[in-house]
Structure 1
Amino acid sequence: MSRYTIVLHQPLYLSVFAALVAVVLWAIAPLLVDIASAVPPFRLATIALLSGAVAALPMTLRKRTKARTDVRQVTLPLKWKLVIYGLVPALIFGAVVGYLAGMGKAPAAEAALITYTWPILFIVLSQWLFHRRIPLPVIVGAGIAFCGAAVLISPESLGVGASDHYAGYALALLAACCWALYSWICQAAPVAVAPLMPLLFLVAGAGAATADTLAGSTPGMPSGSALLAGIALGFGPYGLAMVAWDLALRTGPTALIGSLAYAVPVLAAVLLVVAGIAAPDWRLPVAALLVVAGSVVASMKSGRQQPASN
């Protein structure tokens, strides 16, 4: 065992509690985005990512429970340096901006549920890249989950404003793909990526700020509830949730902790309806349950393919 590695003994209920904290924080993200809807997506992404970098600082202070060597203690191949310091911030940027922009162009509940198909995408990607094959349960689960996403596209979407809705759906799917690839990199990297999260968030935030400037947005910071919602989005879903999820995965049973992520779309849909942001449409619970069911089916007989983060 490396001298940089320690073993943490933590009761199971604390690991589950940490996972549930992450799930709840991810589920309230659509509510925070709706409050800050007047803020341009790139600017809101900048605020959220910079706040998330601050909230994720505890990740740089903890020692890992797995026998992975700290990135600062080894010489990484150039390929992995480019992936970790270049591709990962780009994926974080794409995931956050795609999610925020998608919710601005499509109904919040629908865009959020499409984004939350990322666990099933991660499972498919992980199976293919690790084993060069996709087992039947994964194929079936993926089909069920995407049927859930398809349910959200009602006949009414074909009318006025359809192009805006479809653009929002595409952006939400882009966010899901970015989170899935990011999670696979965290799983496959020869070093622990979590301790670098504040730096990676800062790089992604700088990219969002640059994009906001190039987009020609009027300079200035939002005020009032919009600014508070943007900061809360970074501290909660993109900051504390990452810390809590990392703690849960390191100290609890991976299969149990990973399965809790599938509750996010259901809880998010319920919160949006309760808050009055989404109408109590029959499609929402059906779509949410299909996404969860598809993820559960796809994770059967899975080993390394549990979600690594969000």
Structure 2
Amino acid sequence: MQRVSLSLSTTRWYSLGAALIAVAMWSLAPLLADRAQAMSPIALTALTLLAGALASLPMSRKTRADALPLRWKVLLWGGMPLLIVGAVSTYFLGMRHAPAAEAALITYTWPVLFVLLSQWSQLGRLRLAGLTGALIAFGGAAILMLPQALGTGSGLQAAGPGYALAVLAACCWALYSWVGQLAPVAIAALLPRLLLIACALATAASALFEGDTTLPDGATLLAGIALGLGPYGIAMVAWDTALRHGKSNLVGSLAYGVPILAALLLVLSGLSELDWRLPTAALLVIVGCLQAGR
């Protein structure tokens, strides 16, 4: 009995440590993305996804994906890579057209959208807690845009496209998580192949729309590789491990610390200025996520 209890305790601490690693790496994503700004955004997306595919190879294993109905094959091998490319590229683009901390925080409203989609698909309606949480979270995001809206309008006009791209990134991540929840096979086992397909799509889009095939300088290249290895590679492996071996409610609640930690790192690095809006918005996003997930 004592050995079983010790084993369960060790597993829980192991899952908690894995979740904290994922949260820390996700929090580094805005900082690394800023360090890689010398690289065009879609090319950076391709590099990031390639590094993420290599880092997530330990998750790859045989599944029964080949025996799925045709519609699920199309959705998994076509729709999921498109959502990944959309989420990552619009995130990078959003951070270049709006303040990094604000764009990142708006992107982190995706758990609320995911909860709303899950409730609608499972219950056929939206629960009051989900709608209330969504209003609180998006109210926090609206605070970030309030000074620009009350000013001359030029500030909002300049940052508006970045905010819109951040919302689009949040929508892509929410849809990706929703499809992954409904899928008849574990997405984690398919992740390396999905990332490689997404990398190929991003590479083709970069060649078509950007046309720049020159390699960036060493620091930019390292930042792009680190983005893939960390937030889109090791972090996803660690998160899958944490969810499978730990308590999902405890592990899931840790993810709400990502926007605060990410904003703090951006402030400490001098990339963002700390005023009342950023911590207030971060708190409202976290409260909204918790309320929506009740």
Q: For the superposition of Structure 1 and Structure 2, which TM-score range results when normalised by the shorter chain?
A: over 0.9
Out of 230, 244, 254, the residue aligned to residue 236 of structure 1 is 230
Task: Identify the residue that residue 305 of structure 1 maps to in structure 2.
Answer: none
Task: Identify the residue that residue 15 of structure 2 maps to in structure 1.
Answer: 15
Using the TM superposition, give the Cα deviation of residue 273 of structure 1 relative to its aligned residue in structure 2, in angstroms. Answer: 0.5
Instruction: Answer yes or no: is 1:125 the counterpart of 2:80.
Output: no
Runs of 4+ displaced beyond 4 Å: none
Out of 261, 270, 292, the residue aligned to residue 255 of structure 2 is 261
State the TM-score, normalized to the length of structure 1.
Answer: 0.89
Using the TM superposition, give the Cα deviation of residue 161 of structure 1 relative to its aligned residue in structure 2, in angstroms. Answer: 4.9
Unaligned stretches of 5+ residues in structure 2: 1-6
Task: Identify the residue that residue 288 of structure 1 maps to in structure 2.
Answer: 282
Task: Identify the residue that residue 146 of structure 1 maps to in structure 2.
Answer: 138
Mapped partners of 2:58, 2:157: distance in 1:
42
Task: Identify the residue that residue 98 of structure 1 maps to in structure 2.
Answer: 90
Task: Identify the residue that residue 4 of structure 2 maps to in structure 1.
Answer: none
Letter in 2 for 1:178: C
Task: Identify the residue that residue 3 of structure 1 maps to in structure 2.
Answer: none
Letter in 1 for 2:55: A
Using the TM superposition, give the Cα deviation of residue 263 of structure 1 relative to its aligned residue in structure 2, in angstroms. Answer: 0.7
Mapped partners of 1:39, 1:132: distance in 2:
44
* Mapping for residues 153-302 of structure 1, pairs under 5 Å: 153-156=145-148, 158-300=152-294
State the TM-score, normalized to the length of structure 2.
Answer: 0.93
Mapped partners of 2:211, 2:71: distance in 1:
35
Letter in 1 for 2:131: I
Task: Identify the residue that residue 308 of structure 1 maps to in structure 2.
Answer: none
Using the TM superposition, give the Cα deviation of residue 281 of structure 1 relative to its aligned residue in structure 2, in angstroms. Answer: 1.7
Mapped partners of 1:75, 1:49: distance in 2:
27
Using the TM superposition, give the Cα deviation of residue 218 of structure 1 relative to its aligned residue in structure 2, in angstroms. Answer: 2.2
Instruction: Answer yes or no: is 1:76 the counterpart of 2:68.
Output: yes
Using the TM superposition, give the Cα deviation of residue 88 of structure 1 relative to its aligned residue in structure 2, in angstroms. Answer: 0.3
8 Å Cα contact 2:12/2:246 also seen in 1: yes
Task: Identify the residue that residue 105 of structure 2 maps to in structure 1.
Answer: 113
Using the TM superposition, give the Cα deviation of residue 185 of structure 1 relative to its aligned residue in structure 2, in angstroms. Answer: 1.2
Whose helix fraction is larger, Structure 1's or Structure 2's?
2
Task: Identify the residue that residue 41 of structure 2 maps to in structure 1.
Answer: 41
Unaligned stretches of 5+ residues in structure 1: 1-7, 64-69, 301-310
| % identity of equivalent residues | 55
Q: Deviations over 1:208-258 (max 9, x none)?
A: 111111114322111221100000000000000100000001111111111
Q: Deviations over 1:17-43 (max 9, x none)?
A: 111111110011000001011111001
Change (3 A) 1:275 1:151: same
Mapped partners of 1:83, 1:288: distance in 2:
33
Using the TM superposition, give the Cα deviation of residue 162 of structure 1 relative to its aligned residue in structure 2, in angstroms. Answer: 3.1
Letter in 2 for 1:266: I
SS in 2 for 1:11: helix
Mapped partners of 1:216, 1:30: distance in 2:
22
Letter in 2 for 1:262: Y
Using the TM superposition, give the Cα deviation of residue 154 of structure 1 relative to its aligned residue in structure 2, in angstroms. Answer: 3.0
Mapped partners of 2:167, 2:15: distance in 1:
30
SS in 2 for 1:153: helix
8 Å Cα contact 1:99/1:172 also seen in 2: yes
Mapped partners of 2:169, 2:97: distance in 1:
14
Letter in 1 for 2:48: A
State the Cα RMSD in Å: 1.5
Mapped partners of 1:161, 1:71: distance in 2:
51
Letter in 2 for 1:71: R
Mapped partners of 2:70, 2:158: distance in 1:
41
Between the two proteins, the alignment pairs up a number of residues equal to 285
